Structure 1
């Protein structure tokens, strides 16, 4: 009697490993989704995560990009474990059918995620120019899922598999470029209906804040931001309601109030808020002391507002 061929370990464990990796991804993207909706800061070793989350690329169809990532990871978990929930001794044919169907779905989903993650890495390096550890980690998870979806089972028709992968990759790339066309092209972005103002400013302004705001306006200083950006709101809170009303503010999101995305693109804005003062460009929330130094302000500096937690 011939010796039965042993099943490679990767065939036996690939689905559980993929489910575990997808769970890690779901937790990370779920956390980022909560951060985005709550307009709070991320637990990140650098400010790169907040810069990426505050960029126009982090919102798709008015929703956090992280939310779509969360749904993708949850779907991968479902595809991975679905056949494992069927007892092979009681219903072998059903389990075999599920393994066949979900195996292809795992490959298609992992391919789409890996391609999109690759494009996101391009944006982070060349457009946003800030490192987000969560995004990098998600990219690693996506590529790992892609590799496991290929080596985790015995594919009968490899040619058909890679043709399917090519088609999925093409669809994802074309779709992604179409979705982000508004970010790169203000004429497309302005087709949205504007009007959202974001959270109200709850702090009041002292004499020093008012004087700095007037000085920034006098020297042509501008703040570029988006109504939903938590760091933009922090910046507004530092000035207070009265002083910020004197600041030259440019709304970059076409859904915001009085949007001017063409000015944002012309200024090369990659993240929010971005300040342009006296030829200098700084991204992120700036202290009033920093803005005073950038603008050459020499008036009173007894600013009364501070960032939350500072």
Structure 2
């Protein structure tokens, strides 16, 4: 059974309702806008901090999270795809090992998790904590 956080549900509903959550909306997600230098820098900082971002190609909230970063920054994120076990078996195994139950899930090297869409400011503050 898939568990949805309130933030994930809200993003899914905002992006197309119940069909989008189930992956049956029939429409492709909108392309992410161009990234700013600040968005790219944050993606690099998250990667350097050892944070992992777990998601699914069919998750509306993950698409929304990606749009917050923009196209080039999204490509720099430390992303692990959980829903393509045949194409990406090592990533799917990493998701199982991390016990990912909701998308998106962010995991800090300390083990702390953030579940659901995170604002860029929240992520910035999170990696700057002592």
TM-score normalised by the chain length of structure 2:
0.73
Work out whether 1:270 is the aligned partner of 2:101: yes
Work out whether 1:208 is the aligned partner of 2:18: no
SS across alignment from 1:216? helix
| Residue in structure 1 matching 2:92, options 236, 261, 265 | 261
Distance 1:256 1:214 in 2: 28
Larger Rg: 1
Distance 1:205 1:253 in 2: 25
| Residue in structure 1 matching 2:9, options 50, 55, 58 | 50
Q: Which structure has more helix as a fraction of its residues?
A: 1
| Residue in structure 1 matching 2:49, options 211, 219, 242 | 219
1:50 Cα deviation after fit:
1.9
Cα distance, 1:293–1:278 mapped onto 2, change above 3 Å:
farther
1:256 Cα deviation after fit:
7.9
- Asked if the contact 1:226–1:256 (Cα under 8 Å) also holds between the matched residues in 2, the reply is no
Task: Encode CA deviations 1:108-146: one digit per residue, 9 max, x unaligned.
Answer: xxxxxxxxxxxxxxxxxxxxxxxxxxxxxxxxxxxxxxx
| Residue in structure 2 matching 1:242, options 50, 54, 72 | 72
- In structure 2, what is the equivalent of residue 289 of structure 1? 121
SS across alignment from 1:245? helix
- Asked if the contact 1:278–1:295 (Cα under 8 Å) also holds between the matched residues in 2, the reply is no
Q: Which residues of structure 2 form unaligned runs of 5+?
A: 13-21
Answer 1 or 2: higher relative contact order, Cα 8 Å, separation at least 6.
Answer: 2
SS across alignment from 2:76? coil
Cα distance, 1:256–1:290 mapped onto 2, change above 3 Å:
farther
Distance 1:278 1:223 in 2: 11
Distance 2:76 2:66 in 1: 11
1:247 Cα deviation after fit:
0.7
1:221 Cα deviation after fit:
1.1
Work out whether 1:252 is the aligned partner of 2:85: no
Distance 1:263 1:202 in 2: 26
